[in-house]
Chains A and B, each alone.
Chain A
Amino acid sequence: MSKTMDEVMRTADGVPLKVSLHKALVRSRIRALLLVLPLLAFLLVAFLLPIGYMLFRSIDNRIVPSIFPRTAVAIQDWNPAGNWLPGEAAFEALVRDIQQAFKDRTLGRVGRRLNYEKPGMSSLFRKSGRRAARITGPPYKEQVLRIDKRWGDVNTWRLIHRESGALTGAYFLAAVDLTLNDRAEIVRQPEARRIYRTLFSRTLWMSGLITVLCLLLGYPVAYLLATLPLRYSNLLMILVLLPFWTSLLVRTTSWIALLQTEGVLNDLMVFVGLITDDGRLQLIHNKFGTFVAMVHILLPFMILPLYSVMKTISPALTRAARSLGATPFTAFVRVYMPNTYSGVGAGCIMVFILSIGYYITPALVGGRTGTFISNFIALHVGQTLNWGLAAALGSLLLVLVLALYLLYDKIVGIDNMKLG
């Protein structure tokens, strides 16, 4: 027996075959990996790191500690739960920091950052910047308290103390309409500032309805395309593919031309006598406009996966059902439809994912009532410059989309994703 153990198969140069094969396999694996590597490295820098950086921005809180380093250190040992102000040393640090930041023109950023948490902070810092420049020596506390009585409010100091750490959850709280009160308890935002929950739920229910409408319109068309003889269906397919390939802005533009108050559809209705000239309907810059334009834009994304699934269903199935006595309706509902569920799932998730992240179309035709969460992300990036909140809203949206993506992978498999 021991002799046969020694007689393993070997290659010509005496290496056991097993080892040699394993080596070859490892080598070809490395070769395959090397082909993927350049793209992976490129995407890492161009795409994955930016996304990671955005996620980081949503909890990044370096504004206060980096611009007010002395104050941040000085109030470290101060007990915010107590009911007394910090000591002279903290006030001296504050004056130094304000003077420095005033000189560097960074004071406004601190004011704005704290203003997100507590309205009025921005003006307090602006005012203090000008006045603190004149303070040259002690007693600091007394002089600072003379600038504005809010410096004598323990809550102001509690806020600075809270926001002088390097990380914060405040942006995420703000993204779901929550905030911290003076005692650092999580409470709801004041009524006037509650907008994001409404926006998230609006984005979700409108996307849901858009998905359902796409399914209702897409299913019959996909069925027609899948059952017609090839020479007709290829022609009709062009009617689906042309919108798919046409620029998003072109399609949005045409809906504006069609739907606006002085537009084609209103003119037509006035002409036919359906409405009077001064009773023109507001069809755009509201939810209706968003619905119509989005359904039009996303419909091909529903039809194409449905079509590719329906194409594989054998017509013999329904015929068999009919021959067994089913009515056409029963045969369709109980035999044909269950076979299309994977296509329905793929199309619905695709449309829903695309819809909740849409920005351009709602921005152009949505007016004020038809905008989505992405429009507010853009607003905070471009105009209010509250990047932390934009990043937090983006992160929440990203989590939602990735969850749906996993679901898509479960139902269809990412490998099976097809285009056109």
Chain B
Amino acid sequence: MSLPIYATPLEKAWHYIYRVICAAIFIFLIGPIFVIIPLSFNELPYFTFTPEMLSLDPAGYSTKWYREFFTEDSWQNAVRNSLIIGVFATLISTFLGTLAALGLSRSEMPFKSGFMALLISPMIVPLIISATGMYFFYTRMGISSTHLGVIIAHAALGTPFVVITVTATLVGFDHSLIRAAASLGANPVETFFKVTMPLILPGIVSGALFAFITSFDEVVVVLFVGSVDQRTIPWKMFSGIREEIRPTILAVATLLVCVSILLLTTLELLRRRNERLRGIRAA
């Protein structure tokens, strides 16, 4: 992308204009996320910068919205619900998704693309449709308004991510390793845990992270299938924005941004590890 020395003035001008345009788009992407961080320290219950904040007066800042989040029962309940639902849904979808991905990536698998399309359909169907169908059906089955219902629903929504990431890791998988393990006397279970699993672990973990964040961030299905007892963080935020808008939501939002930064770092490290492992094998 560097400018060649023979570039005409027009090309030079365009080169810089283009960079400015890109910078503006990057600001559009990232700006809104960072604006809420200082706003969450607002002393007053407003969603904007007060004159005190702009003059960097310490009196204009406070951590009371964070205190409210950490002490109020309804928020703490929401955190607990989000974690319970997220963890169990992730366990189910990671287990089932990994198994399915192992089957799908075998060369003998019949109707591969048909199964693939079916298995990732929860990702494609709009959430509002899934939520409506699940609400009708789960009510019929008597599991709506229970944690079990929401966990099952979220597990279903999370499986496509696990299937996709684990299948992607298995693409470069050397199947002669399995045969080698078998020829050395390992049974299939041993082979899986000692040979296959360590190699595809980054795929499984990133799939699990995808599944967890899907559940952790999901609100439509919880709104439909759950009830007051299943109130999660996104539910609280959604109803908070709709009804009484308080800066506590900004504090929660800031904390969630920190969670996503953490998640992004983990995924990036996993990706690098995966690349390194493959590099060694290729060499």
Interface residues of A (CB under 8 A from B): 25, 28-29, 31-36, 38-40, 42-43, 46-54, 57, 217, 220-221, 224, 227-229, 236, 238-243, 245-258, 260, 262-264, 267, 296, 299-300, 328, 353-354, 356-360, 363-364, 374, 377-378, 381-382, 387, 390-391, 394, 397-398, 401-402, 405, 409, 414-415, 417-420
Other-chain contact of B132, A47, A243, A381 (Cβ < 8 Å): A381
Q: How far is the CA of A353 from the CA of B127 in the complex (A)?
A: 11
Mask of B27-50 contacts with A, CB within 8 angstroms, 1/0: 011101101100100000011110
Please state if A394 and B25 are interface contacts (CB–CB under 8 Å). Answer: no
The interface residues of chain A lying within 8 Å CB-to-CB of B264 are 238, 241-242, 245
Residues of chain B from 79 to 114 with CB closer than 8 A to chain A in the complex: 92, 96-97, 99-100, 102-104, 106, 108-110, 112-113
Are A253's CB and B132's CB within 8 A?
A: no
Contact A381–B224 (Cβ < 8 Å): yes
State the main secondary structure of chain A at its contact with B: helix
Judged by a CB distance under 8 angstroms, whether B16 is at the interface is no
A35 contacts across to B, CB distance below 8 A: 99-100, 102-104, 106
Q: How many angstroms between the C-alpha atoms of A419 and B238 in the bound complex?
A: 26
| B136 and A53 form a contact (CB under 8 A) | yes
B116 contacts across to A, CB distance below 8 A: 414-415
Number of B residues whose C-beta is below 8 Å from A? 95
For A250, give its contact among B21, B36, B46, B168 (CB under 8 Å).
Answer: B36
Instruction: Check if B70 is an interface residue, CB within 8 A of chain A.
Output: no
A-B interface, 9 closest residue pairs, ranked by CB to CB distance from nearest:
A357-B126, A35-B103, A50-B133, A54-B133, A50-B137, A374-B128, A46-B156, A39-B100, A254-B32
B260 adjacent to chain A (CB < 8 Å):
yes
A-B contact number at CB 8 A = 274
Contact A40 B118 (CB under 8 A): yes
Further contacts, 16 of them, CB under 8 A, given A35-B103, A357-B129:
A29-B108, A29-B109, A40-B118, A50-B133, A51-B130, A221-B22, A245-B263, A247-B256, A247-B260, A250-B257, A254-B32, A357-B127, A363-B242, A364-B242, A387-B136, A419-B161
B237 lies within 8 A of chain A by Cβ: yes
One of A43, A220, A387 near B156 (C-beta < 8 A): A43
Is the Cβ of B117 less than 8 Å from the Cβ of A417?
A: no
Given A378-B128, A405-B124, A245:B100 Cβ within 8 A: no
> Is the C-beta of B281 less than 8 angstroms from some C-beta in chain A?
no
Contact between B161 and A249, CB atoms less than 8 A apart: no
Nearest CB of B to A357, in Å:
2
Residue on A with the closest CB to B271?
A: A420
In the complex, are the beta carbons of A40 and B256 less than 8 A apart? no
B99 touches A38 (CB 8 A): yes
User: Chain A's nearest CB lies how many Å from the CB of B25?
Assistant: 5
Distance in angstroms from A397 CB to nearest chain B CB is 6
Question: A246-B260, A253-B237, A262-B48 are contacts. A40–B156 as well, Cβ < 8 Å?
Answer: no
CA distance A394 to B129 in the complex (A): 6
Candidates B109, B115, B129; contact of A40 at CB < 8 Å = B115
